[in-house]
Structure 1
Amino acid sequence: MNRALIVKEKQKELTRLSNGDFDAFLYDCDGTLADNMEGHKASYRAAALIYGFELNDAIIDELAGWPIIQVAEEIRKRYGVPFKPEEYAQLKNTLYEDAFIQDTKPIDFVVAHLKAHAGKVRIGVVSGGGRVSVSRTLQQLGITSLVEVLVCAGETSRGKPHPDPFLYAAKQLRVDPSRCLVFEDGNPGVQAAVAAGMQWIRIDQV
Structure 2
Amino acid sequence: MLAAPSKLKLPKGSFKAYLFDCDGTIVDSMPLHYIAWKTVLAEWNCEFGEQTFYAWGGMPVSEIISALNVRDGLAMPGEEVAKRKEALYFEILPELKAVPEVLEHIEFSHGQIPFAVVSGSTRDSVTSSLEVLGLLDKFETLVCAGDYERSKPDPEPFLIAAKRLGVSPEDCLVFEDTEMGIQAATAAGMASVKILQPWEREEHSGT
Instruction: Please report the TM-score for the alignment, with normalisation by the length of structure 2.
Output: 0.89
Partner residue in 1 for 2:6: 12
Q: Establish whether residue 116 from structure 1 lines up as the match of residue 108 from structure 2.
A: yes
Partner residue in 2 for 1:5: none
Separation in 1 of the partners of 2:179 and 2:77? 26
Answer yes or no: is the 8 Å Cα contact 1:160–1:188 preserved in 2. Answer: yes
Partner residue in 2 for 1:38: 31
Partner residue in 1 for 2:136: 144
Answer yes or no: is the 8 Å Cα contact 1:161–1:188 preserved in 2. Answer: yes
- The percent of aligned pairs where both chains have the same amino acid is 37
Separation in 2 of the partners of 1:144 and 1:186? 22
Listed one character per residue, the Cα deviations across residues 61-98 of structure 1 (whole Å, up to 9, x for unaligned) are 01111111111111111122111223222221111112
Partner residue in 1 for 2:90: 97
Answer yes or no: is the 8 Å Cα contact 1:44–1:57 preserved in 2. Answer: no
SS at match of 1:26: strand
Residues paired across the two proteins, number: 196
Separation in 2 of the partners of 1:143 and 1:132? 14
Q: Which runs of 5+ in 1 are unaligned?
A: 1-9
Q: Establish whether residue 195 from structure 1 lines up as the match of residue 193 from structure 2.
A: no
Match of 2:49 among 48, 56, 61: 56
**Two-structure CA RMSD over aligned residues (Å):** 1.9
Separation in 1 of the partners of 2:54 and 2:37? 12
Partner residue in 2 for 1:4: none
Q: Which runs of 5+ in 2 are unaligned?
A: 202-207
Separation in 1 of the partners of 2:46 and 2:148? 31
Separation in 2 of the partners of 1:18 and 1:11? 13
Partner residue in 1 for 2:14: 21
Instruction: Please report the TM-score for the alignment, with normalisation by the length of structure 1.
Output: 0.89
**What amino acid sits opposite 2:118 in the alignment?**
V
SS at match of 2:6: helix
**What amino acid sits opposite 1:112 in the alignment?**
E
User: When you count helix as a share of all residues, which structure comes out higher?
Assistant: 1
